[in-house]
Chains A and B, each alone.
Chain A
Amino acid sequence: MIDLLRQELYKMVHQKSIQFSPLILFSLMLFVGFASIHTGDLNDYISQGFAAAQWLDILIIIASANIISMEFEHGTIKHLIAQHNQRLLIYLSKMIVIGIYCVVLHLCAFIFAIVVKYAVYGNSYPFSAIYDNHQTVMQNLLTSILSNLFSCLLVVTVVFLIASLSRTSSIAAVVGVLFIFMATAVSRILINTVGRALPSIKWNPGNMFNVAFQFLTPDVYQQSMLTNTQLVIGNLIWAVIFIALGYGAFKRKRI
Protein backbone atom coordinates (compact mmCIF):
# COMPACT_ATOMS: atom_id res chain seq x y z
CA MET A 1 0.00 0.00 0.00
CA ILE A 2 2.86 2.39 0.88
CA ASP A 3 4.47 1.69 -2.49
CA LEU A 4 1.16 2.30 -4.26
CA LEU A 5 0.66 5.60 -2.45
CA ARG A 6 4.21 6.64 -3.33
CA GLN A 7 3.61 5.81 -6.99
CA GLU A 8 0.27 7.62 -7.09
CA LEU A 9 1.75 10.72 -5.46
CA TYR A 10 4.70 10.63 -7.87
CA LYS A 11 2.36 10.49 -10.87
CA MET A 12 0.13 13.23 -9.48
CA VAL A 13 2.86 15.78 -8.79
CA HIS A 14 4.28 15.31 -12.29
CA GLN A 15 1.05 16.23 -14.07
CA LYS A 16 0.87 19.74 -15.43
CA SER A 17 -2.86 20.02 -14.66
CA ILE A 18 -2.13 19.32 -11.00
CA GLN A 19 0.97 21.54 -10.85
CA PHE A 20 -0.95 24.51 -12.25
CA SER A 21 -4.19 23.98 -10.34
CA PRO A 22 -3.23 26.31 -7.42
CA LEU A 23 -2.35 29.01 -9.95
CA ILE A 24 -5.66 28.49 -11.78
CA LEU A 25 -7.52 28.62 -8.45
CA PHE A 26 -5.75 31.83 -7.45
CA SER A 27 -6.46 33.48 -10.82
CA LEU A 28 -10.15 32.63 -10.62
CA MET A 29 -10.46 33.85 -7.03
CA LEU A 30 -8.64 37.06 -7.95
CA PHE A 31 -11.00 37.53 -10.91
CA VAL A 32 -14.03 37.14 -8.61
CA GLY A 33 -12.41 39.53 -6.14
CA PHE A 34 -11.98 42.28 -8.76
CA ALA A 35 -15.38 41.61 -10.28
CA SER A 36 -17.01 41.97 -6.84
CA ILE A 37 -15.68 45.48 -6.03
CA HIS A 38 -18.74 47.35 -7.26
CA THR A 39 -21.29 44.87 -6.00
CA GLY A 40 -23.13 45.00 -2.67
CA ASP A 41 -22.11 42.80 0.23
CA LEU A 42 -18.37 42.28 0.00
CA ASN A 43 -18.15 40.40 3.31
CA ASP A 44 -20.17 37.67 1.60
CA TYR A 45 -17.46 37.27 -1.05
CA ILE A 46 -14.73 37.11 1.59
CA SER A 47 -16.55 34.59 3.79
CA GLN A 48 -17.22 32.41 0.73
CA GLY A 49 -13.57 32.61 -0.28
CA PHE A 50 -14.32 34.38 -3.56
CA ALA A 51 -16.35 31.41 -4.84
CA ALA A 52 -13.48 29.09 -3.91
CA ALA A 53 -15.89 26.19 -3.28
CA GLN A 54 -17.12 26.12 -6.88
CA TRP A 55 -13.62 26.37 -8.36
CA LEU A 56 -12.33 23.75 -5.93
CA ASP A 57 -15.14 21.35 -6.86
CA ILE A 58 -14.37 21.68 -10.58
CA LEU A 59 -10.62 21.15 -10.11
CA ILE A 60 -11.18 18.16 -7.82
CA ILE A 61 -13.73 16.61 -10.19
CA ILE A 62 -11.24 16.86 -13.10
CA ALA A 63 -8.40 15.37 -11.02
CA SER A 64 -10.61 12.56 -9.69
CA ALA A 65 -11.89 11.65 -13.15
CA ASN A 66 -8.38 11.70 -14.55
CA ILE A 67 -6.68 9.63 -11.86
CA ILE A 68 -8.96 6.65 -12.65
CA SER A 69 -9.47 7.06 -16.39
CA MET A 70 -5.84 7.72 -17.33
CA GLU A 71 -4.82 4.20 -16.31
CA PHE A 72 -7.27 2.71 -18.81
CA GLU A 73 -6.62 5.32 -21.51
CA HIS A 74 -2.85 4.77 -21.39
CA GLY A 75 -3.08 1.00 -20.78
CA THR A 76 -1.04 1.40 -17.59
CA ILE A 77 -3.65 -0.40 -15.51
CA LYS A 78 -2.12 -3.72 -16.66
CA HIS A 79 1.22 -2.83 -15.13
CA LEU A 80 -0.45 -1.52 -11.99
CA ILE A 81 -2.44 -4.70 -11.43
CA ALA A 82 0.49 -6.95 -12.29
CA GLN A 83 2.58 -5.14 -9.69
CA HIS A 84 0.04 -4.99 -6.90
CA ASN A 85 -2.63 -7.56 -7.78
CA GLN A 86 -5.27 -6.00 -5.54
CA ARG A 87 -7.65 -3.68 -7.28
CA LEU A 88 -9.17 -2.56 -3.97
CA LEU A 89 -5.80 -1.24 -2.79
CA ILE A 90 -5.26 0.48 -6.14
CA TYR A 91 -8.70 2.10 -5.91
CA LEU A 92 -8.26 3.20 -2.28
CA SER A 93 -4.73 4.50 -2.79
CA LYS A 94 -5.99 6.70 -5.62
CA MET A 95 -8.78 7.95 -3.36
CA ILE A 96 -6.31 8.73 -0.56
CA VAL A 97 -4.04 10.65 -2.93
CA ILE A 98 -7.01 12.68 -4.18
CA GLY A 99 -7.90 13.26 -0.52
CA ILE A 100 -4.42 14.71 0.06
CA TYR A 101 -4.86 16.87 -3.06
CA CYS A 102 -8.22 18.13 -1.67
CA VAL A 103 -6.62 19.11 1.64
CA VAL A 104 -3.72 20.89 -0.07
CA LEU A 105 -6.02 22.71 -2.48
CA HIS A 106 -8.37 23.82 0.32
CA LEU A 107 -5.38 25.09 2.31
CA CYS A 108 -4.31 27.03 -0.78
CA ALA A 109 -7.85 28.40 -1.15
CA PHE A 110 -7.78 29.62 2.46
CA ILE A 111 -4.43 31.38 1.98
CA PHE A 112 -5.47 32.77 -1.42
CA ALA A 113 -8.71 34.17 0.08
CA ILE A 114 -6.65 36.18 2.57
CA VAL A 115 -4.24 37.35 -0.16
CA VAL A 116 -7.05 38.31 -2.57
CA LYS A 117 -8.94 40.14 0.18
CA TYR A 118 -5.93 42.34 0.98
CA ALA A 119 -4.94 42.70 -2.68
CA VAL A 120 -8.41 43.84 -3.79
CA TYR A 121 -10.13 45.37 -0.72
CA GLY A 122 -7.04 46.47 1.25
CA ASN A 123 -7.74 47.02 4.95
CA SER A 124 -11.46 47.57 4.41
CA TYR A 125 -13.76 44.74 5.49
CA PRO A 126 -11.58 43.35 8.27
CA PHE A 127 -11.58 39.64 9.04
CA SER A 128 -12.45 40.44 12.65
CA ALA A 129 -15.79 42.03 11.73
CA ILE A 130 -18.87 40.16 12.91
CA TYR A 131 -20.87 38.71 10.02
CA ASP A 132 -23.06 35.60 9.55
CA ASN A 133 -24.17 33.54 12.59
CA HIS A 134 -22.62 36.05 15.00
CA GLN A 135 -19.20 34.91 13.89
CA THR A 136 -16.30 36.86 12.50
CA VAL A 137 -15.64 36.95 8.74
CA MET A 138 -12.55 34.81 9.36
CA GLN A 139 -14.67 32.17 11.17
CA ASN A 140 -17.15 32.28 8.28
CA LEU A 141 -14.34 31.76 5.79
CA LEU A 142 -12.96 28.82 7.78
CA THR A 143 -16.45 27.28 8.06
CA SER A 144 -16.97 27.67 4.33
CA ILE A 145 -13.62 26.10 3.43
CA LEU A 146 -13.89 23.24 5.94
CA SER A 147 -17.50 22.34 5.08
CA ASN A 148 -16.56 22.30 1.40
CA LEU A 149 -13.60 20.07 2.22
CA PHE A 150 -15.96 17.65 3.97
CA SER A 151 -18.35 17.70 1.00
CA CYS A 152 -15.44 16.60 -1.20
CA LEU A 153 -15.77 13.12 0.31
CA LEU A 154 -19.03 12.67 -1.58
CA VAL A 155 -17.80 14.54 -4.67
CA VAL A 156 -14.73 12.31 -5.00
CA THR A 157 -16.56 9.03 -4.36
CA VAL A 158 -19.25 9.92 -6.92
CA VAL A 159 -16.70 10.94 -9.58
CA PHE A 160 -14.66 7.77 -8.95
CA LEU A 161 -17.83 5.75 -9.54
CA ILE A 162 -18.62 7.64 -12.77
CA ALA A 163 -14.99 7.34 -13.96
CA SER A 164 -15.05 3.59 -13.30
CA LEU A 165 -18.18 3.29 -15.41
CA SER A 166 -17.17 5.59 -18.27
CA ARG A 167 -14.62 5.23 -21.02
CA THR A 168 -12.70 8.50 -20.83
CA SER A 169 -11.79 11.06 -18.19
CA SER A 170 -13.52 13.86 -20.11
CA ILE A 171 -16.84 12.01 -20.04
CA ALA A 172 -16.37 11.31 -16.33
CA ALA A 173 -15.50 14.95 -15.62
CA VAL A 174 -18.46 16.37 -17.57
CA VAL A 175 -20.94 13.94 -16.02
CA GLY A 176 -19.38 14.57 -12.61
CA VAL A 177 -19.72 18.36 -12.91
CA LEU A 178 -23.30 18.09 -14.15
CA PHE A 179 -24.21 15.62 -11.42
CA ILE A 180 -22.69 17.62 -8.59
CA PHE A 181 -23.93 21.05 -9.65
CA MET A 182 -27.44 19.84 -10.42
CA ALA A 183 -27.75 17.45 -7.51
CA THR A 184 -29.03 19.93 -4.92
CA ALA A 185 -31.50 21.46 -7.40
CA VAL A 186 -32.90 18.05 -8.36
CA SER A 187 -33.05 17.08 -4.70
CA ARG A 188 -35.02 20.26 -3.90
CA ILE A 189 -37.55 19.43 -6.60
CA LEU A 190 -37.86 15.87 -5.30
CA ILE A 191 -38.36 16.98 -1.69
CA ASN A 192 -40.93 19.61 -2.72
CA THR A 193 -42.92 17.23 -4.88
CA VAL A 194 -42.85 13.91 -3.03
CA GLY A 195 -41.37 14.92 0.34
CA ARG A 196 -44.69 14.74 2.20
CA ALA A 197 -45.70 11.37 0.85
CA LEU A 198 -42.19 9.97 1.15
CA PRO A 199 -40.27 11.71 3.97
CA SER A 200 -37.20 9.48 3.48
CA ILE A 201 -36.59 11.17 0.09
CA LYS A 202 -34.68 13.85 2.01
CA TRP A 203 -31.92 11.24 2.47
CA ASN A 204 -31.26 11.20 -1.28
CA PRO A 205 -27.58 11.67 -2.23
CA GLY A 206 -28.23 14.96 -4.04
CA ASN A 207 -29.45 16.52 -0.80
CA MET A 208 -26.20 15.55 0.90
CA PHE A 209 -24.28 18.14 -1.10
CA ASN A 210 -26.03 20.80 1.02
CA VAL A 211 -23.47 19.98 3.70
CA ALA A 212 -21.16 22.43 1.91
CA PHE A 213 -23.59 25.31 2.51
CA GLN A 214 -25.65 24.58 5.59
CA PHE A 215 -22.86 25.07 8.15
CA LEU A 216 -22.30 28.62 6.91
CA THR A 217 -25.92 29.38 6.07
CA PRO A 218 -28.27 27.62 8.52
CA ASP A 219 -31.29 28.72 6.43
CA VAL A 220 -30.37 25.96 3.98
CA TYR A 221 -32.09 23.64 6.48
CA GLN A 222 -35.43 24.80 5.01
CA GLN A 223 -34.28 23.19 1.80
CA SER A 224 -32.42 20.12 3.04
CA MET A 225 -34.84 19.24 5.86
CA LEU A 226 -31.89 17.57 7.62
CA THR A 227 -29.90 18.81 10.63
CA ASN A 228 -26.15 19.37 10.36
CA THR A 229 -25.47 16.09 12.17
CA GLN A 230 -27.89 14.21 9.91
CA LEU A 231 -26.16 15.67 6.85
CA VAL A 232 -22.75 14.58 8.12
CA ILE A 233 -24.00 11.05 8.85
CA GLY A 234 -25.81 10.92 5.49
CA ASN A 235 -22.65 11.98 3.67
CA LEU A 236 -20.61 9.27 5.38
CA ILE A 237 -23.20 6.57 4.59
CA TRP A 238 -23.50 7.62 0.94
CA ALA A 239 -19.70 7.85 0.62
CA VAL A 240 -19.41 4.23 1.78
CA ILE A 241 -22.13 3.20 -0.71
CA PHE A 242 -20.42 5.06 -3.58
CA ILE A 243 -17.04 3.56 -2.68
CA ALA A 244 -18.57 0.07 -2.76
CA LEU A 245 -20.35 0.71 -6.09
CA GLY A 246 -17.29 2.42 -7.58
CA TYR A 247 -14.99 -0.39 -6.55
CA GLY A 248 -17.44 -2.91 -8.01
CA ALA A 249 -17.35 -1.06 -11.35
CA PHE A 250 -13.56 -0.64 -11.20
CA LYS A 251 -13.09 -4.35 -10.47
CA ARG A 252 -15.26 -5.37 -13.41
CA LYS A 253 -13.84 -2.86 -15.86
CA ARG A 254 -12.48 -4.80 -18.83
CA ILE A 255 -8.74 -4.51 -19.42
Chain B
Amino acid sequence: MKDILVFKHLTKQFGKRSVLDDLSFNVPKGHIVGLVGPNGAGKSTIMKCILGIYSYDQGELFFDGQRITKHNVNEMSLKTGALIESPSIYPFLSGFQHFKLYSASKDEVNRIVALLGMQNYIHQKVTGYSFGMKQKLGIALALINQPELVILDEPMNGLDLMATLDLRNMIKTEAAKGVTFIVSSHILSELEKISDDIILINNGKLVFQTTLQALRGLGKRYYLITTNDNKRAMALLDAKGIKAELQQHSIKINNSNDRLTDSLKVILTNDLQLWDVSHEGMDLESATLRFIKGGADHD
Protein backbone atom coordinates (compact mmCIF):
# COMPACT_ATOMS: atom_id res chain seq x y z
CA MET B 1 0.00 0.00 0.00
CA LYS B 2 1.40 3.38 -1.02
CA ASP B 3 1.79 5.97 1.71
CA ILE B 4 0.11 9.33 1.26
CA LEU B 5 2.03 10.86 4.13
CA VAL B 6 5.44 10.09 5.60
CA PHE B 7 7.07 11.84 8.55
CA LYS B 8 10.81 11.11 8.76
CA HIS B 9 12.65 12.18 11.91
CA LEU B 10 10.60 15.38 12.09
CA THR B 11 11.52 17.89 14.76
CA LYS B 12 9.67 21.04 15.69
CA GLN B 13 10.61 23.37 18.52
CA PHE B 14 8.92 26.32 20.14
CA GLY B 15 11.78 28.15 21.75
CA LYS B 16 13.75 25.51 23.59
CA ARG B 17 10.78 23.15 23.95
CA SER B 18 10.60 20.26 21.51
CA VAL B 19 6.98 19.65 20.54
CA LEU B 20 7.89 17.09 17.88
CA ASP B 21 10.99 15.09 18.67
CA ASP B 22 12.52 12.95 15.92
CA LEU B 23 9.05 11.81 14.93
CA SER B 24 8.65 9.20 12.21
CA PHE B 25 5.47 7.52 10.99
CA ASN B 26 3.61 6.81 7.78
CA VAL B 27 -0.02 7.05 6.73
CA PRO B 28 -1.14 4.53 4.08
CA LYS B 29 -3.38 5.88 1.32
CA GLY B 30 -7.09 5.24 1.83
CA HIS B 31 -6.65 4.27 5.48
CA ILE B 32 -8.35 5.74 8.51
CA VAL B 33 -5.62 6.51 11.00
CA GLY B 34 -6.38 7.22 14.62
CA LEU B 35 -3.96 9.72 16.13
CA VAL B 36 -3.88 9.22 19.87
CA GLY B 37 -2.01 10.85 22.71
CA PRO B 38 -2.52 12.83 25.90
CA ASN B 39 -3.02 16.59 25.91
CA GLY B 40 0.13 18.38 24.80
CA ALA B 41 1.51 15.25 23.11
CA GLY B 42 1.96 17.09 19.81
CA LYS B 43 -1.14 16.00 17.88
CA SER B 44 -2.22 19.50 16.91
CA THR B 45 1.33 20.41 15.92
CA ILE B 46 1.46 17.39 13.59
CA MET B 47 -1.81 18.52 12.00
CA LYS B 48 -0.65 22.09 11.67
CA CYS B 49 2.60 20.95 10.03
CA ILE B 50 0.55 19.02 7.45
CA LEU B 51 -1.55 22.11 6.76
CA GLY B 52 1.51 24.33 6.42
CA ILE B 53 0.50 26.44 9.42
CA TYR B 54 3.77 25.49 11.11
CA SER B 55 7.02 24.73 9.37
CA TYR B 56 9.26 22.01 10.79
CA ASP B 57 12.84 22.50 11.94
CA GLN B 58 14.48 19.21 11.00
CA GLY B 59 13.62 15.96 9.27
CA GLU B 60 11.63 15.27 6.13
CA LEU B 61 7.97 15.28 5.24
CA PHE B 62 6.61 13.50 2.16
CA PHE B 63 3.14 13.84 0.68
CA ASP B 64 2.21 11.35 -2.02
CA GLY B 65 5.90 10.65 -2.61
CA GLN B 66 6.85 14.30 -2.95
CA ARG B 67 9.14 15.94 -0.41
CA ILE B 68 7.37 18.90 1.19
CA THR B 69 9.26 21.99 2.28
CA LYS B 70 8.01 25.47 3.16
CA HIS B 71 8.35 26.41 -0.53
CA ASN B 72 5.91 23.81 -1.84
CA VAL B 73 3.76 23.15 1.22
CA ASN B 74 0.62 24.11 -0.70
CA GLU B 75 1.13 20.94 -2.80
CA MET B 76 0.08 19.16 0.39
CA SER B 77 -2.22 21.64 2.13
CA LEU B 78 -4.39 22.25 -0.95
CA LYS B 79 -5.14 18.53 -1.12
CA THR B 80 -5.93 18.38 2.57
CA GLY B 81 -9.19 19.23 4.31
CA ALA B 82 -9.16 19.83 8.02
CA LEU B 83 -11.11 20.46 11.16
CA ILE B 84 -8.58 21.44 13.82
CA GLU B 85 -9.42 22.40 17.41
CA SER B 86 -12.64 24.25 16.50
CA PRO B 87 -14.65 24.67 13.29
CA SER B 88 -13.30 27.48 11.06
CA ILE B 89 -16.52 29.40 10.65
CA TYR B 90 -17.58 33.03 10.45
CA PRO B 91 -20.63 33.88 12.62
CA PHE B 92 -21.97 36.42 10.13
CA LEU B 93 -22.28 33.85 7.30
CA SER B 94 -24.75 31.01 6.84
CA GLY B 95 -23.56 27.46 6.39
CA PHE B 96 -24.30 27.68 2.67
CA GLN B 97 -22.38 30.95 2.35
CA HIS B 98 -19.32 29.20 3.78
CA PHE B 99 -19.43 26.75 0.89
CA LYS B 100 -19.72 29.67 -1.54
CA LEU B 101 -16.80 31.38 0.18
CA TYR B 102 -14.60 28.36 -0.48
CA SER B 103 -15.89 27.90 -4.05
CA ALA B 104 -17.41 24.47 -3.56
CA SER B 105 -19.44 23.22 -6.53
CA LYS B 106 -23.20 23.00 -6.08
CA ASP B 107 -23.31 19.24 -6.62
CA GLU B 108 -20.59 18.69 -4.04
CA VAL B 109 -22.32 20.93 -1.52
CA ASN B 110 -25.60 19.07 -2.00
CA ARG B 111 -23.84 15.72 -1.58
CA ILE B 112 -22.02 16.69 1.62
CA VAL B 113 -25.02 18.48 3.11
CA ALA B 114 -27.12 15.37 2.52
CA LEU B 115 -24.35 13.10 3.81
CA LEU B 116 -24.23 14.98 7.11
CA GLY B 117 -27.98 15.68 7.31
CA MET B 118 -27.64 19.47 7.35
CA GLN B 119 -30.47 20.33 4.93
CA ASN B 120 -32.76 21.91 7.52
CA TYR B 121 -30.42 24.64 8.69
CA ILE B 122 -27.78 25.11 5.99
CA HIS B 123 -29.24 28.50 4.95
CA GLN B 124 -29.44 29.83 8.51
CA LYS B 125 -26.80 32.15 9.97
CA VAL B 126 -24.16 30.25 11.93
CA THR B 127 -24.87 32.37 15.05
CA GLY B 128 -28.07 30.34 15.48
CA TYR B 129 -26.29 26.97 15.28
CA SER B 130 -25.84 24.65 18.24
CA PHE B 131 -22.33 23.37 19.05
CA GLY B 132 -23.05 20.10 17.24
CA MET B 133 -24.36 21.92 14.15
CA LYS B 134 -21.20 24.04 14.02
CA GLN B 135 -19.12 20.90 14.39
CA LYS B 136 -20.94 19.31 11.45
CA LEU B 137 -20.34 22.40 9.34
CA GLY B 138 -16.65 22.27 10.26
CA ILE B 139 -16.53 18.61 9.15
CA ALA B 140 -18.40 19.46 5.93
CA LEU B 141 -15.91 22.24 5.15
CA ALA B 142 -13.06 19.77 5.62
CA LEU B 143 -14.63 17.52 3.01
CA ILE B 144 -15.30 20.03 0.21
CA ASN B 145 -13.11 20.41 -2.87
CA GLN B 146 -12.29 16.69 -2.97
CA PRO B 147 -9.34 16.43 -0.57
CA GLU B 148 -7.04 13.42 -0.73
CA LEU B 149 -6.34 13.67 2.98
CA VAL B 150 -8.80 14.76 5.66
CA ILE B 151 -7.70 15.68 9.17
CA LEU B 152 -10.37 15.65 11.85
CA ASP B 153 -9.44 16.80 15.33
CA GLU B 154 -12.00 15.72 17.93
CA PRO B 155 -14.78 15.46 15.30
CA MET B 156 -17.23 13.76 17.70
CA ASN B 157 -17.27 16.78 20.04
CA GLY B 158 -20.83 17.95 20.55
CA LEU B 159 -22.37 15.34 18.26
CA ASP B 160 -25.35 13.32 19.45
CA LEU B 161 -25.60 9.55 19.05
CA MET B 162 -27.18 9.64 15.60
CA ALA B 163 -24.81 12.30 14.33
CA THR B 164 -21.84 10.27 15.61
CA LEU B 165 -23.16 7.24 13.78
CA ASP B 166 -23.64 9.30 10.59
CA LEU B 167 -20.11 10.65 10.92
CA ARG B 168 -18.70 7.15 11.39
CA ASN B 169 -20.50 5.93 8.27
CA MET B 170 -19.48 8.99 6.30
CA ILE B 171 -15.79 8.52 7.16
CA LYS B 172 -15.94 4.86 6.18
CA THR B 173 -17.75 5.66 2.91
CA GLU B 174 -15.23 8.33 1.93
CA ALA B 175 -12.28 6.13 2.92
CA ALA B 176 -13.67 3.36 0.71
CA LYS B 177 -13.43 5.85 -2.17
CA GLY B 178 -9.72 6.34 -1.46
CA VAL B 179 -9.78 9.38 0.82
CA THR B 180 -7.30 9.09 3.69
CA PHE B 181 -8.35 10.20 7.17
CA ILE B 182 -6.32 11.17 10.20
CA VAL B 183 -8.70 11.32 13.13
CA SER B 184 -7.76 12.47 16.58
CA SER B 185 -10.13 11.92 19.46
CA HIS B 186 -10.17 11.39 23.18
CA ILE B 187 -13.23 9.17 22.72
CA LEU B 188 -11.06 6.11 22.10
CA SER B 189 -13.94 3.67 21.89
CA GLU B 190 -15.29 5.66 18.95
CA LEU B 191 -11.87 5.85 17.32
CA GLU B 192 -11.54 2.11 17.68
CA LYS B 193 -14.69 1.61 15.63
CA ILE B 194 -13.37 3.41 12.55
CA SER B 195 -9.57 3.21 12.56
CA ASP B 196 -7.45 0.90 10.43
CA ASP B 197 -4.24 2.08 12.07
CA ILE B 198 -3.32 3.66 15.35
CA ILE B 199 -0.49 6.11 15.95
CA LEU B 200 0.22 6.82 19.59
CA ILE B 201 2.42 9.77 20.45
CA ASN B 202 3.55 11.22 23.73
CA ASN B 203 5.80 14.19 24.44
CA GLY B 204 6.25 14.70 20.70
CA LYS B 205 7.65 11.19 20.25
CA LEU B 206 6.18 8.16 18.56
CA VAL B 207 5.19 5.56 21.14
CA PHE B 208 3.96 3.09 18.55
CA GLN B 209 2.32 2.75 15.18
CA THR B 210 0.30 -0.37 14.59
CA THR B 211 -2.82 -1.67 12.92
CA LEU B 212 -5.88 -1.96 15.10
CA GLN B 213 -5.93 -5.70 14.41
CA ALA B 214 -2.39 -6.08 15.75
CA LEU B 215 -3.24 -3.96 18.77
CA ARG B 216 -6.16 -6.20 19.63
CA GLY B 217 -3.93 -9.24 19.11
CA LEU B 218 -1.75 -8.04 21.96
CA GLY B 219 -4.48 -8.87 24.43
CA LYS B 220 -4.71 -12.45 23.28
CA ARG B 221 -1.40 -13.23 24.91
CA TYR B 222 -3.06 -13.20 28.33
CA TYR B 223 -5.77 -15.52 29.66
CA LEU B 224 -7.79 -15.09 32.78
CA ILE B 225 -8.71 -18.37 34.54
CA THR B 226 -11.20 -18.49 37.37
CA THR B 227 -11.54 -21.56 39.62
CA ASN B 228 -13.29 -22.39 42.88
CA ASP B 229 -9.90 -22.01 44.66
CA ASN B 230 -7.62 -19.60 42.85
CA LYS B 231 -4.91 -19.65 45.57
CA ARG B 232 -4.53 -23.42 45.36
CA ALA B 233 -4.59 -23.33 41.58
CA MET B 234 -1.87 -20.67 41.67
CA ALA B 235 0.33 -22.86 43.89
CA LEU B 236 -0.15 -25.87 41.61
CA LEU B 237 0.74 -23.85 38.51
CA ASP B 238 3.80 -22.49 40.25
CA ALA B 239 4.90 -25.99 41.14
CA LYS B 240 4.67 -26.95 37.44
CA GLY B 241 6.79 -23.94 36.45
CA ILE B 242 3.92 -22.09 34.76
CA LYS B 243 4.22 -18.37 35.32
CA ALA B 244 1.00 -16.89 36.53
CA GLU B 245 -0.26 -13.88 38.43
CA LEU B 246 -2.95 -14.01 41.06
CA GLN B 247 -5.52 -11.30 40.58
CA GLN B 248 -8.53 -10.33 42.66
CA HIS B 249 -10.95 -12.85 41.15
CA SER B 250 -8.81 -14.79 38.67
CA ILE B 251 -5.37 -15.97 37.64
CA LYS B 252 -3.65 -14.24 34.74
CA ILE B 253 -1.55 -16.49 32.50
CA ASN B 254 0.83 -15.32 29.82
CA ASN B 255 0.11 -17.58 26.86
CA SER B 256 3.05 -16.47 24.74
CA ASN B 257 4.54 -19.97 25.24
CA ASP B 258 1.24 -21.79 24.63
CA ARG B 259 0.87 -22.73 28.32
CA LEU B 260 -2.94 -22.59 28.36
CA THR B 261 -3.40 -26.33 27.72
CA ASP B 262 -0.84 -27.23 30.40
CA SER B 263 -2.46 -24.83 32.85
CA LEU B 264 -5.91 -26.30 32.29
CA LYS B 265 -4.58 -29.86 32.69
CA VAL B 266 -3.04 -28.93 36.06
CA ILE B 267 -6.30 -27.41 37.28
CA LEU B 268 -8.59 -30.22 36.07
CA THR B 269 -6.38 -33.12 37.20
CA ASN B 270 -6.31 -31.66 40.73
CA ASP B 271 -10.07 -31.68 41.14
CA LEU B 272 -10.43 -27.93 40.98
CA GLN B 273 -13.61 -26.58 39.46
CA LEU B 274 -13.04 -24.44 36.39
CA TRP B 275 -15.51 -21.56 36.42
CA ASP B 276 -14.30 -19.37 33.58
CA VAL B 277 -11.57 -18.97 30.94
CA SER B 278 -11.32 -15.72 28.98
CA HIS B 279 -8.93 -13.45 27.08
CA GLU B 280 -7.75 -10.37 28.83
CA GLY B 281 -9.41 -7.58 26.84
CA MET B 282 -6.96 -5.18 25.19
CA ASP B 283 -8.85 -2.25 23.74
CA LEU B 284 -7.43 1.01 22.54
CA GLU B 285 -8.05 2.66 25.88
CA SER B 286 -6.18 0.06 27.91
CA ALA B 287 -3.38 -0.05 25.35
CA THR B 288 -3.03 3.72 25.41
CA LEU B 289 -3.00 3.86 29.19
CA ARG B 290 -0.53 1.03 29.36
CA PHE B 291 1.93 2.49 26.86
CA ILE B 292 1.65 6.05 28.10
CA LYS B 293 2.28 4.94 31.67
CA GLY B 294 5.25 2.90 30.46
CA GLY B 295 6.46 -0.59 31.10
CA ALA B 296 4.64 -2.14 28.17
CA ASP B 297 6.25 -4.86 26.16
CA HIS B 298 4.91 -4.12 22.74
CA ASP B 299 6.70 -5.77 19.84
Contact = CB atoms under 8 A, between A and B. Distances in A.
Interface of A: 3, 7, 10-11, 14-16, 70, 74-76, 78-79, 81-85, 255
Given A70-B90, A78-B53, A78-B88, A11 B101 contact: yes
A188 B198 CA distance: 66
A82 B51 contact: yes
Contact of A82 (B80, B89, B90, B100): B80
Given A81-B53, A85-B74, A76 B90 contact: yes
Contacts of B73: 85
Interface in B80-102: 80, 82, 84-93, 97, 100-102
Nearest to B91: A74
B92 A7 contact: no
Interface of B is mostly: loop
B77 interface: yes
B257 to A, nearest CB: 51
Contacts of A78: 48, 51, 53, 82, 84-85, 88
Interface in B236-264: none
Contacts of B97: 10, 14
Interface of B: 48, 51-53, 73-74, 77-78, 80, 82, 84-93, 97, 100-103, 141
29 contacts: A3-B103, A7-B102, A10-B97, A10-B101, A11-B92, A14-B92, A14-B97, A15-B92, A16-B92, A74-B89, A75-B85, A75-B86, A76-B89, A78-B82, A78-B84, A79-B82, A79-B88, A79-B141, A81-B52, A82-B51, A82-B52, A82-B80, A82-B82, A83-B77, A85-B52, A85-B73, A85-B74, A85-B77, A255-B48
A137 to B, nearest CB: 40
Contacts of B92: 11, 14-16
A167 B48 CA distance: 21
A15 B92 CA distance: 6
A255 B53 CA distance: 8
Contacts of A74: 88-91
